[in-house]
Structure 1
Amino acid sequence: MGEKWTILILREVWYGSSRFSDFERVLGCPRNLLATRLRMLVEEGILVTETYKEPGARSRPKYVITPKGMDLVPAVMGLLQWGDRYRADPDGPAMLTRHRGCGAHVAPEIRCAQGHLVQTEDIESIPGPGFRMKPPQ
């Protein structure tokens, strides 16, 4: 996930792109790199491929997001929000996110299990059940 093209591919999937040619056209990503990133997203279970066929053309794969991929939406939305704040074009962000139901702006938030809005400075990290100390060398 920590690579630029991977995040951009996921963004385009959420915007409605599903075909290799769509990603190539919109992103301008080199074909070999795009193929590698899409293959990795499928191997990781973030996308799956389904076959589609346009009239008069051969069958081709399209990429569909999985529930595992949908769980990445808050993380990617957070990165997009950061980019819109600090790296957007002087005219504003290229894309706006809004709630389809009412049209209001959508922004990611951090909430605790009790539903409280949590500020960054109020987050603490403690060892969890899988925590292991690295043995001294």
Structure 2
Amino acid sequence: MNPTLPRPPALDWSTDTCTIGRAMGILGEKWTVVVLREIFNGVRRFADLHEQTGIPRQVLTNRLASLVEHGLLRREPYQEPGARIRHEYRLTAKGLDLYPVLTAVMEWGDRYLADPEGPPLQMAHRGCGAEIHTELHCADGHRVTDHREVVPRPGPGAKRR
């Protein structure tokens, strides 16, 4: 370490209770986010998810089971005439709370990874038709446009090393 640079204060705190790490333990695998993308887009049945994503069947089975186990999805039974009971997957309140996260990831991808023609999907407000986007605001309602204005500080669950 360069002795002229100050030690980052974050090094004084444990990461054992880091909620970003815990969230990525659930969401961090590529196919998990792809499954959530499709369910947010209204694709809810196993066969449709498999067809739309190309995820191997066992991987899809595992990802859906994990999302149900973690309370992001719930299974709802349905039955086609003459067929056995199957399940479709619906977002729970916990799963719906991920919508801004997926929207932010999509916006980042649109900015840096879209084809020259533009992004493949746009999100619009049902009420007025205007395009939606994610923003940061402080608790007092100030819009944060420069991310260097955000200062991390220990929260109530922080533990010193």
Superposition TM-score tier, normalisation by shorter sequence: over 0.9
Hey, what does 1:28 align to over in structure 2?
Answer: 54
CA distance in 1, matches of 2:142, 2:57: 45
Hey, what does 1:81 align to over in structure 2?
Answer: 107
CA distance in 2, matches of 1:22, 1:81: 25
Larger Rg: 2
Check if 1:131 corresponds to 2:158.
yes
The residue type equivalent to 2:31 in the other structure is W
Shift of 1:54: 1.3
CA distance in 1, matches of 2:115, 2:55: 21
Residues 17-67 of structure 1 show CA distances to partners (whole Å, capped at 9, x for unaligned) of 111111111111111111111110000000000101112211101100000
Which of 148, 154, 157 aligns to 1:121? It is: 148
Runs of 5+ unmatched residues, structure 2:
1-26
Hey, what does 1:44 align to over in structure 2?
Answer: 70
TM-score, length of structure 2 as denominator length = 0.81
The residue type equivalent to 1:50 in the other structure is E
Residues 49-106 of structure 1 show CA distances to partners (whole Å, capped at 9, x for unaligned) of 0101112211101100000001111111110111111111222111110101111001
Question: Per chain length, whose mean CA-contact separation is higher, i.e. which structure has more relative contact order (CA < 8 Å, sep 6+)?
Answer: 2
Identity %: 48
Secondary structure at the counterpart of residue 137 of structure 2: coil
Hey, what does 2:81 align to over in structure 1?
Answer: 55
Shift of 1:130: 0.6
Runs of 5+ unmatched residues, structure 1:
none
TM-score, length of structure 1 as denominator length = 0.94
Structure 1 runs of 4+ off > 4 angstroms?
Answer: none
Hey, what does 2:33 align to over in structure 1?
Answer: 7
